[in-house]
Amino acid sequence: MEKLRVGVVGFGGIFNGAHKGTWKTTTKAQIVAVCDINPEKLKKAKLEFPSINTYTDYKEMIDTEHLDIVDICTPNYMHSPIACYALDNGCHTFCEKPDAVDVEAAIRMKEAQERSGKVLMVMRNNRHLGSSQMLKKMIADGEFGEIYTGRCGWIRKRGIPGKGGWFTTKAQSGGGPLIDLGVHMIDLALYMMGNPKPVSVVGSTYCKFANDEEESDSVHANFGEKVEGGTFDVEDLATGFIKFENGASLQIEFSWASNIERETRFVELRGTKKGAKWERGTFTLYDGKKNCKIKDLLFRGKQLVSSVDGHGGNLRHFLDVVTEGAKPDYVIDQGIDMIKILCAIYESAKTGKEVQL
Ligand SMILES: NC(=O)c1ccc[n+]([C@@H]2O[C@H](COP(=O)([O-])OP(=O)(O)OC[C@H]3O[C@@H](n4cnc5c(N)ncnc54)[C@H](O)[C@@H]3O)[C@@H](O)[C@H]2O)c1
């Protein structure tokens, strides 16, 4: 089979850290072109992939290269316009999270996907960890009973990505840790809960660390380039509460910086038969008899040893959908619901009121 032609938009941190490896090793596709507005990044791309063509304009790349796939790794505000252009020009499209920076932009992606009939998937790397797949199967097998509530968060002590650059500029990122980290953990919670329909939210946001000079202690905060004296008009902490049509609820908290013991990243689920806490790729099961003790039936020792390359797993799943017609585990309606939740929490934080979706 001839390899599918891939064009990458955005040769920055996440592409080099988490996409490149899959494109280099898959037998199904190969990178033939890279677009970045920064010529220095294109020089690096050319060194690494000598046979590619490089572009500073994604439209020119798509118009010229007869691509099968576009992989979008740009700042958030460019996801929707690039995805719509790629889909409208016949390309299957894989896009980094978050889906979009507002609901209208996410809806435009859905419309372009429907017009084109091509595959559109947005990165949901946590779903593709071995631990998540195993927990999901246990839930599907009915081991948890009814999951009626949960909590999730990614709370950093110090870990603001690219301070002053696009990450901390609302017009380019759509927001702070709520949209940056929330999309990961809320998605995993909803995925485990069976993607219930959100009906209302309430939330608060704070910005207290824009002038903080402490060094980051988070290995997860090395994304985005810092800009001295740049913009910081997003929150650094968000809390909230989401209610769903089926009566379930979810408490959330996300921060890039806060005075806490240490960074935590978790999804906690409460079911009528069992509860679970997922933490950084492992999970622990709880029930009434063995109060809060780790159940080791499905574990090696006390912890599950699982596949840890969630990003690669997600990209390989996308390729299976494109080449073999595998059933996609993500559909853009889930992305629209996600962006509705996040934007409504920002609205609630501004108005002080509960927002109906
Ligand atoms: N899934 C994850 O775990 C994860 C982790 C980090 C970042 N991300 C997401 O990945 C995306 C990129 O983040 P990053 O950390 O790599 O940022 P980055 O700033 O390191 O890289 C972005 C790249 O896009 C380029 N770019 C900007 N505008 C462009 C345009 N219009 N056309 C072409 N290129 C353009 C920049 O020059 C830069 O090289 C963001 O959406 C972010 O939310 C995902």
Output the pLDDT for position 130.
81
In a domain, 65, yes or no: yes
Residue written as token pair 């979008």: 72
In a domain, 319, yes or no: no
The last residue of one of the domains, among 107, 122, 137, is: 122
Going from the Cα of 83 to the center of ligand 1, the distance in angstroms, rounded, reads: 14
pLDDT (mean) for 337-348: 98
Q: What is the CATH number of the domain that holds 97?
A: 3.40.50.720
Output the pLDDT for position 307.
62
Going from the Cα of 36 to the center of ligand 1, the distance in angstroms, rounded, reads: 10
pLDDT (tens digit, 9 = 90+) per residue, 155-207? 999 999 999 999 999 999 999 999 999 999 999 999 999 999 999 999 999 99
In a domain, 181, yes or no: yes
In a domain, 320, yes or no: no
Going from the Cα of 349 to the center of ligand 1, the distance in angstroms, rounded, reads: 27
* 33 and 51 both lie in a single domain: yes
pLDDT (tens digit, 9 = 90+) per residue, 29-81? 999 999 999 999 999 999 999 999 999 999 999 999 999 999 999 999 999 99
Going from the Cα of 237 to the center of ligand 1, the distance in angstroms, rounded, reads: 22
Asked whether 174 and 98 are in contact (CB, 8 A), the reply is yes
Domain region containing 253 = 127-313+337-356
* 91 and 149 both lie in a single domain: no
In a domain, 96, yes or no: yes
For 140-183, the DSSP string reads: HTTTT--EEEEEEEEE-SB--TTTTSGGG-HHHHSSSHHHHTHH
The last residue of one of the domains, among 96, 122, 148, is: 122
Q: What is the CATH number of the domain that holds 297?
A: 3.30.360.10
Signed CA dihedral, 102, 184, 182, 338: sign only:
positive
Which residues form the pocket of ligand 1, taking CB atoms under 6 Å from any ligand atom? 9-14, 35-38, 41, 58, 73-76, 78, 96-97, 123, 125, 223-225
Output the pLDDT for position 178.
98
Output the pLDDT for position 32.
98
pLDDT (tens digit, 9 = 90+) per residue, 307-329? 678 899 999 999 999 999 999 99
In a domain, 328, yes or no: no
For 181-227, the DSSP string reads: THHHHHHHHHHHTT-PPEEEEEEEEE---TT--PPP--GGG--S---
Q: Pocket of ligand 1, candidates 44, 48, 73, 77: which has the most ligand atoms within 8 Å of its Cβ, to mutate?
A: 73
The pLDDT-based confidence of 297 (bands split at 50, 70, 90) is: very low
Look at residue 290 and tell me whether its pLDDT is greater than 90: no
In a domain, 26, yes or no: yes
Euclidean distance between the first and the last CA atom of the chain, given in angstroms as a whole number: 46
Residue written as token pair 């559909």: 331
* 164 and 258 both lie in a single domain: yes
* 139 and 287 both lie in a single domain: yes
In a domain, 323, yes or no: no
Nearest to 19 by CA among 57, 72, 86: 72
The token duo for 279 is: 């933490």
Q: How many domains does one find in the chain?
A: 2
Residue type, 23: W
